[in-house]
Amino acid sequence: MSLREQNVAVAALADIAGCRGPMISVSTACAGAAHAIGEAYRMIQDGDSQVMLAGGFDALTSWLDVLGFSLLRALTTEHNDEPERGSRPFDARRSGFVVGEGAVMVILEDEASAAARGARVHGEIRGYGSTLNAYRITDAPPDGGGAIAAMRDAITESGLAPAEIDYIAAHGTGTPGNDVSETAAIKEVFGAHAANVLISSPKSMTGHLTSAAAGVNLLGALRDQVVPPTINLDHPDPRLDLDYVPQVARPGRVRATLVNSFAFGGTNACLVVT
């Protein structure tokens, strides 16, 4: 599918489902699903629709995709004989991400619509933040850059205090620069609470689903009351000194989740879900 045809999949899905409301196709790389969900949330807030289907999909596994990421030195070249060990977010020996593929869609609707059809409600979007780094196309600013504002905007809109966030579903790609930048941003936003909040990267288990990534991180911890682990975190990086839930999932009371998505181009999207 070419860049000019990205709306085709969305239009085809809308046609199959008989959807006649607002339709947009979001192309913001690794933040795509978060932006799609956030913009759908806004449309419902604004009264443009009662129900929205939102999410993301990607399968950047062709030789051309892999070549492009390799030229950017974004992919790990280690553990080729043990691919399940290649994705190592927040580990001192991280060297890049592992390409994944997948799709995640969620139904967003207002309270009246959900009640009318007796829907099981898995969570509530409470806040959405979207910013740009204006730094470099492929690198995150070491000080956290625009991710700080995106997180703050989402938390402020939610009406919660930073200390009320129980879990951060990190962007956590396993690239050397991203994990430093995200950790710096979390420390800036959460202050002393950064040492207490649980953080993990599902990408350690799924690889990087690029445009679908935020959807994977959205509801699991809230639904199961279990924080997923960051596997392969074998060698703690002294610069990354927060609780990344290494190796083993951790049961806990999760009432509010912050979902982080940061993309090539410097675009950031964050969601608060309760």
Identified catalytic residue from 79, 171, 193, 270: 171
Of 271, 274, 272, 273, nearest in space to 33 by CA = 271
Identified catalytic residue from 79, 122, 208, 235: 208
Tokens of 61: 């596994």
In the chain, the amino acid numbered 120 is R
Identified catalytic residue from 19, 30, 35, 122: 30
Tell me which DSSP letter residue 159 carries: T
Q: Which of 101-115 are b and which e, b meaning 16 or more Cβ less than 10 Å from the residue's Cβ?
A: bbbbebebbeeeebe
Residues β-bridged to residue 169: 200, 259
Tokens of 87: 């994705």
Q: Is 171 a catalytic residue?
A: yes
Q: Is 208 a catalytic residue?
A: yes
In three-state secondary structure terms, 62 is coil
Residue 124: alpha-carbon gap to chain centroid = 16
Tell me which DSSP letter residue 274 carries: -
d(CA 274, CA 257): 6
Q: Which residues are catalytic?
A: 30, 171, 208
